[in-house]
Amino acid sequence: MITIHKYVRAQSLEEAYALNQSRRNRIIGGMLWLKMSTLNIATAIDLSGLGLDTIEETDDAFSIGAMVTLRQLEQHQGLNRYMNGAAAEAVSSIVGVQFRNMATVGGSLWGRFGFSDVLTLFLAADSYVELYKGGVVPLAQFAAMKPDRDILVRLIVKKTSASFAYRSMRIQRTDFPVITCAVSRVNDCFCASVGARPHKAILLRDDEGILAGGITEESAAAFASSVAQRCPTGGNLRGSAAYRTHLIRVLVKRAILALGGNA
């Protein structure tokens, strides 16, 4: 249970940042994860009045505010056109529509959760987070950083010549995933991002050029095997390490075939 003594809808990022320097205060995004913990919060800092709830598309990039909901990611036509529907696919099994109307991109990335579909998805793209004090940082670098008292302002997804596909496996719809997997071809480089290992998503590139000659059943299977071999997995109540490694082999292959247009 969380107890909150004071609620402030921040008027500026500076105000939110200043309040967030006290360890007794907390930024609230969708509050869905926070609410599951036992916490005594002096001041809850709400970012919902700062206009960070839109996805802006320019010729070069998508700028996704920290308070954008997972449902907005699912429904944004431009983003899904660019990502070949992978954004919608990645979030569509996260609990339900009501939940996705509340859970935010900021809270999802800030948490750097092992199970995160959102982190898995965006690691496979040319993505950056803008931190209020820390500036613009590549998403992979941010994922490896320890949470501090900064504020995630927005996610930036740079547009390149790219295509994407997303696959995940759940024991049951709406449950946490057993494995998540996003693949992409960005400027002719193939890579796979794998999460729910059950650890945080990591990015594995096709450094050996397995897919350089084109996507076929054989090359997709070979790349999937290479990813499965290189990707560390562990066991938890949703599945063993060996099961996850097996799933990686299956899902990466399927996703690569989808990328090549033979889903």
Partner 1 sequence: MMEIRLKLNGKTITDHIDADLLLIDFVRRHGCLSVKRGCETANCGLCTVLMDGKPVLSCSLLAARADGHEIYTLEGLQQEAEAFVGFIADEGADQCGFCNPGYVMNTIALLRENPNPTDDEIRAYLAGNLCRCSGYEGQLRGIRRFLNSRAEGGSHAE
Ligand X SMILES: Cc1cc2nc3c(=O)[nH]c(=O)nc-3n(C[C@H](O)[C@H](O)[C@H](O)COP(=O)(O)OP(=O)(O)OC[C@H]3O[C@@H](n4cnc5c(N)ncnc54)[C@H](O)[C@@H]3O)c2cc1C
Residues in contact with ligand X by the rule CB under 6 A: 26-34, 36, 47, 66, 94-95, 103-104, 106-108, 110-111, 115-118, 151-152, 176-177
Residues 126-165: x/- map of binding to partner 1 (CB under 8 A)? ----------------------------------------
51, 173, 187, 213: residue in contact with partner 1 (rule CB under 8 A): 173
Smallest separation (angstroms) from partner 1 to the CB of 154: 20
From the list ligand X, partner 1, none, partner contacted by residue 2 (C-beta under 5 to 8 A by kind):
partner 1
Q: Does 237 bind partner 1 (CB under 8 A)?
A: no
Nearer to partner 1, 13 or 42 (CB): 42
CA angle 6, 10, 16 (to 5 degrees): 90
From the list ligand X, partner 1, none, partner contacted by residue 132 (C-beta under 5 to 8 A by kind):
none
From the list partner 1, ligand X, none, partner contacted by residue 3 (C-beta under 5 to 8 A by kind):
partner 1
Nearer to partner 1, 29 or 239 (CB): 29
* Residues within window 185-214 making contact with partner 1, judged by CB under 8 A: none
From the list ligand X, partner 1, none, partner contacted by residue 68 (C-beta under 5 to 8 A by kind):
none
Nearer to partner 1, 102 or 241 (CB): 102
